[in-house]
Amino acid sequence: MDREQQRIEEDLRGIVSGEVLCGAASRSLYASDASVSEVWPLAVVRPRTTDDVAATVRWAAERQIPVHPRGAGSSVAGGSLGPGVVIDCGRFLRRILQTDGDEVRVQPGVVAAQLEEHLGRRTRSLGVDPANSGVTTVGGMIGRNSSGSRFPRYGAMSGRMISARVVLADGAILELVPTAPASASPASPGDNAAPAAMEADRLRQLASGVATILTSSRDLIAAAQPATRGTHGGYQLHDLLRTLDRDGLVDLPRLLCGADGTLGIVSEATLRTVPTDDATAVGLFLFDSLDRAAEAALRLRPLSPDACDLFDKRHLTLARSARPAFDQLIPSVADAGLLVEFSGDDEPAAAARFDEAARRLQGPRPLCIDVRRAEDAAEKAMLWELSRSVVATLHGVRGTIRPVPFLEDVVVPPEALPDFLRRLQAVLKQCDATAMLFAHAGHGQLHVRPYADPRDPEARTRLERLADAIYGDVVAVGGTIGAEQGLALSRTAFFATHFPELTGVFAAVKRVFDPLGTLNPGMIVGAPSVPAGWRPPLVSQPPPPPLPMLTWTVERLANEVDACNGCGACRSQSPSMRMCPMYRENPAEEASPRAKANLMASLLSGRLDPRSLGQDAVRDIADTCFNCHQCRTDCSAGVDIPAIVTELKAAHADINSLDLHAWLLSRVDTLSGLGGAVSPLANWAIANPQARWVMEKMLGVARGRKLPPFTGQQVIRWAARRGLTRPSRRSGPRVLYFLDTFARRHDLQLVKAFVAVLEHNGIGVFIDPRQVSAGMPLVAAGDVDAARRLARTNLRVLTEAVRLGYRIVATEPSAVTCIVHDYPLLLADDEMDRVVAATTDAATFLWELHREGRLRLDFQPLVTAGDVSQQPASRILYHAPCHARIGRDKSPAEHLLRLVPGLAIDTADRGCSGMAGTFGLSRRNYRTSLRVGLGLVSAMRSSGIEAGATECSGCRIQMEQGTSKPTVHPMKLLAKSYGLLAGPGPDCLDTLLTATSGPLTTS
């Protein structure tokens, strides 16, 4: 950080109670959003209060430094990017303040889905339904005047605004309400007037300023922003003119909607809510051409559907590949689709409206080739996925050339849609471009995404030309640009070219609020260039040494980084996803998965000093990832964030070496081996408070953490006695059991159980004693050299086994992840692909066996001892470990447990356990780990649950933390149900749950 930056940081720290970030690594995370732009801010402030916002704005105004409010940073037009101070309202201003009747008062950082959940409990809703509601914040929705598929019914955010507490350009704090303009210039209340009088005067001044502009530009506004359509690019002046004419008031809060933070920064808002939905009918119409789909949308308009979304062929193809259900539903001959929703007082009424629509499209001159009305709630949700998650998938298309969110957001009069689509196709052809298309056809809003490489300067020039041509056609049919996604960096300059008179009016409005132009300049009015700040190329210069540390080339690393489109879905708190446990616990930008991709992008592009790689700031950001891999599964682009993080950690470790505790904990297998060698002493030590205190100080292992007892060399000795340490002589299917640390060092019973289950199913088992631990803790710590050594040893053993026809199967999912995901990044080896293809986890292996009809099903009921007479089901809480969710089938162990009679399996996903291998063992992370796993641990404590089940040893430790209930590996339950484990019999679950592996120990 240079001295100027240091001074800024000190200045800002002195005036705000929130956080101030001026370091280059932190600023790099705020240089991008979901758009194609990159602009580095001078500083970032994360306010805790309205006063923090005001102090920052005042400080900036005095120095003529711009400020840029930010919510989730999911704008696809660069709305929150700028060279001044970014004010991140999404970190601390996240409270729902008051809910009263049909109103709710919120801070700007509240996420839409969080608000909907809150309102839903009161049978209310915001109504406005952006596709990314799990991410977008109320502040961003106001800034963007967001809307969604149900716009025809609920309109946009501007229809929800009642009042807003706003920080104005000079730092004044004002509650904006609809206000009558002063009829003549009233006397100013003077400097000593009461605050309320001063506030009222300021409101009147603003209202008068705006009213003057509205009345003097009445004809222009009416012509350029016809009231027949909902939203428009830029300030929604048509809305204000209507209210002024009707009520004599200037609706100042409404003016904030779509203003992109250029008129004031919202620190609180009161919003109008609506009753939750009536009954709905949802269906999908399919067409053999886009033209017919557009014509159908027009034909449905008189029926006033609540939503009418149009998909092109590419979108449908994407949907088919994303979900097998869509593959069955959508025939490949379909070139376009319309998702249509009708509401009604009850289901039959809604269905009748839908059926009328179907009659109109299927009548004597049928337009559609097929129609499918959803039968139930599950089917409705599935169809809605076309608009929701498939749009996210659209954002996630990978490759340097991909659909680019640049011209993106155009609105045409709905009746002009068929004509405009023809024009659009002609322009695309003329410019030799292809594009993806998704439209809210009911209100004529189109998302057009041309395929291009946005980091290629020539492609950008072509994109700009294409945008200009398309916008020309938009104007020709009476449309506008940048309504839902805004003008911001991507469209402000184009808007000025195509709507010069209206831009002049916008500039006048802006001057009323922000005469010095410090509030998010360059958005809506006054853009400096077209467009500001494209993202730079990533590999135009050598990578900063020592990158890359893994086997991939810098080009592949760059492609992986580039696959992150900044959509921000990894900031989601939605229970339907598991990513990102660390962000959920600490909702700060640096903890999000995309932060890691952005950080690496800045390093590769050279915008971040290469020396930062060795600095703590980079390591601190990388350390907010504990390698659970859930972003890789849930992110629609499947960005390999864990690999990017490994690069960052490995480079840092290479430059600085690991600190002692990280070094020791990454060698947990060695520590467990040493403990096993002196198991009586070690088992005494882990239960002794003084010894645990010493362990905490010396090894960094949290003293409050329950630890499993050591079994020494029992496993290998037992396997040798059973003749398992030599290749199996059985004919037929054979398995090399990869043990990893927990099974080998701590859980002989698990090894016995899995071997018994395999043998019971006629599978030969080989436990090669030369195998070593997989090395996941080393990978997670970034010690790739040590991990590579283990990988090399294991690869020799596994290659031999694979050549002999063995499958490699582990009871520990993280061992599988390490072999399948990390080994290819650690070692370049010709045999790697075969080993990876042969490796799987125990549950997946057995479930595949079952699907092939080869798993024995002679399971006997498992019930608790006390309940034998009445035979009620034993309630087991099954937790799918993160590393077991990476595969194609997200929960094979759950499917297997459902085969066991007598077990009632509770499988509601409570998110990550928070253990993440050795992460939760360490003193440094102990509390964070408990907070991440709180949902799961609380579920374990609930009275109906008798025991837990999970494949992961780390999750087991967490599930037993804070409860006396045991957690077992599903293989033990299977073995018990087969009658293969010692004990009074398969009907007695208690004996298993308190059997030899015993409870975990803590001091």
Ligand X SMILES: Cc1cc2nc3c(=O)[nH]c(=O)nc-3n(C[C@H](O)[C@H](O)[C@H](O)COP(=O)(O)OP(=O)(O)OC[C@H]3O[C@@H](n4cnc5c(N)ncnc54)[C@H](O)[C@@H]3O)c2cc1C
Q: Which residues bind ligand X (CB under 6 A)?
A: 33-34, 68-76, 79-80, 89, 108, 130-132, 136-137, 139-144, 146-148, 260-261, 265-266, 391-392, 395, 484-485, 488, 520, 523, 567
Q: Which is nearer to ligand SF4, 519 or 816 (CB)?
A: 816
Whole-angstrom Cα distance, residue 408 to residue 445?
10
Q: Write down the residue that tokens 């805790």 correspond to.
A: 48
Whole-angstrom Cα distance, residue 825 to residue 841?
20
Q: Which is nearer to ligand SF4, 114 or 389 (CB)?
A: 389
Q: CA 155: distance to chain centroid?
A: 26
Whole-angstrom Cα distance, residue 142 to residue 260?
8
Tell me the one-letter amino acid at 439: A
Residues 232-251 that bind ligand SF4 (CB under 6 A): none
Q: Which is nearer to ligand X, 133 or 811 (CB)?
A: 133
Q: Residue 635 touches which of ligand SF4, ligand X, none (CB < 5 to 8 A by kind)? A: ligand SF4
Whole-angstrom Cα distance, residue 960 to residue 1000?
7
Taking residues 705 to 734 in sequence order and writing x for each that binds ligand SF4 by CB under 6 A, - otherwise, the string is ------------------------------
Q: Which is nearer to ligand SF4, 565 or 864 (CB)?
A: 565
**Number of residues in contact with ligand SF4 under rule CB under 6 A:** 27
Q: Residue 80 touches which of ligand X, ligand SF4, none (CB < 5 to 8 A by kind)? A: ligand X
Query: In the bound complex, what is the minimum distance in angstroms from residue 636's beta carbon to ligand SF4?
Result: 6
The number of beta carbons lying within 10 Å of the beta carbon of residue 654 is: 18
With residue 551 as reference, give the H or E element that holds it: none
Q: Residue 144 touches which of ligand X, ligand SF4, none (CB < 5 to 8 A by kind)? A: ligand X
Query: In the bound complex, what is the minimum distance in angstroms from residue 894's beta carbon to ligand X?
Result: 30
Query: In the bound complex, what is the minimum distance in angstroms from residue 599's beta carbon to ligand X?
Result: 19
At 510, list the tokens: 């802006």
Q: Which is nearer to ligand X, 639 or 682 (CB)?
A: 639
Q: Residue 75 touches which of ligand X, ligand SF4, none (CB < 5 to 8 A by kind)? A: ligand X
Cis peptide before 152 (omega within 30 of 0): no
Q: Residue 579 touches which of ligand X, ligand SF4, none (CB < 5 to 8 A by kind)? A: ligand SF4
Q: Residue 580 touches which of ligand SF4, ligand X, none (CB < 5 to 8 A by kind)? A: ligand SF4
Q: Which is nearer to ligand X, 494 or 919 (CB)?
A: 494
Q: Which of 569, 622, 665, 743 binds ligand SF4 (CB under 6 A)?
A: 569
Asked if 714 contacts 942 with a C-beta cutoff of 8 angstroms, the reply is no
Q: Which of 565, 612, 922, 1003 binds ligand SF4 (CB under 6 A)?
A: 565
At 786, list the tokens: 């040590």
Query: In the bound complex, what is the minimum distance in angstroms from residue 135's beta carbon to ligand SF4?
Result: 9
Q: Which of 72, 570, 699, 971 binds ligand SF4 (CB under 6 A)?
A: 570
Distances (CA, A) of 232 to 245, 423, 497, 796: 19, 21, 16, 64
Q: Which is nearer to ligand X, 68 or 629 (CB)?
A: 68
Q: CA 191: distance to chain centroid?
A: 49
Of the candidates 979, 590, 974, 595, the residue with the CA atom closest to the CA atom of residue 811: 974
Backbone φ and ψ for 46, nearest 5 degrees, come out as -115, 90
Taking residues 624 to 663 in sequence order and writing x for each that binds ligand SF4 by CB under 6 A, - otherwise, the string is -xxxxxxx---x-x-x-xx---------------------
What does the chain come to in residues? 1003
Asked if 179 contacts 165 with a C-beta cutoff of 8 angstroms, the reply is no
Query: In the bound complex, what is the minimum distance in angstroms from residue 388's beta carbon to ligand SF4?
Result: 14
Whole-angstrom Cα distance, residue 494 to residue 496?
5
β-strands 874-878, 947-949 pairing? parallel
At 763, list the tokens: 């599978």
Asked if 387 contacts 316 with a C-beta cutoff of 8 angstroms, the reply is no
Query: In the bound complex, what is the minimum distance in angstroms from residue 567's beta carbon to ligand X?
Result: 4
Q: Which is nearer to ligand X, 41 or 140 (CB)?
A: 140
Query: In the bound complex, what is the minimum distance in angstroms from residue 557's beta carbon to ligand SF4?
Result: 15
Q: Which is nearer to ligand X, 125 or 714 (CB)?
A: 125
At 247, list the tokens: 């009520």
Q: Residue 445 touches which of ligand SF4, ligand X, none (CB < 5 to 8 A by kind)? A: none
Q: Residue 69 touches which of ligand SF4, ligand X, none (CB < 5 to 8 A by kind)? A: ligand X
At 865, list the tokens: 């001892």
Q: Which is nearer to ligand X, 409 or 696 (CB)?
A: 409
Residues 571-600 that bind ligand SF4 (CB under 6 A): 579-582, 593-594, 597
Q: Which is nearer to ligand X, 154 or 626 (CB)?
A: 154
At 56, list the tokens: 């920052």
Question: Residues 226, 229, 235, 239: what is their CA dihedral angle, to the nearest 10 degrees?
Answer: 80
Tell me the one-letter amino acid at 836: V
Asked if 595 contacts 589 with a C-beta cutoff of 8 angstroms, the reply is yes
Query: In the bound complex, what is the minimum distance in angstroms from residue 633's beta carbon to ligand X?
Result: 17
Of the candidates 708, 811, 795, 676, the residue with the CA atom closest to the CA atom of residue 755: 811
Asked if 263 contacts 237 with a C-beta cutoff of 8 angstroms, the reply is no
Q: Which is nearer to ligand SF4, 486 or 593 (CB)?
A: 593
Whole-angstrom Cα distance, residue 262 to residue 928?
38
Q: Write down the residue that tokens 């704005």 correspond to.
A: 57
Q: Residue 447 touches which of ligand SF4, ligand X, none (CB < 5 to 8 A by kind)? A: none
Q: Which residues are 735's β-sheet partners?
A: 765, 807
Q: Residue 520 touches which of ligand X, ligand SF4, none (CB < 5 to 8 A by kind)? A: ligand X
Query: In the bound complex, what is the minimum distance in angstroms from residue 582's beta carbon to ligand SF4?
Result: 4
Q: Which is nearer to ligand X, 22 or 72 (CB)?
A: 72
Residues found near ligand SF4 in the complex (CB under 6 A) = 396, 564-570, 579-582, 593-594, 597, 625-631, 635, 637, 639, 641-642
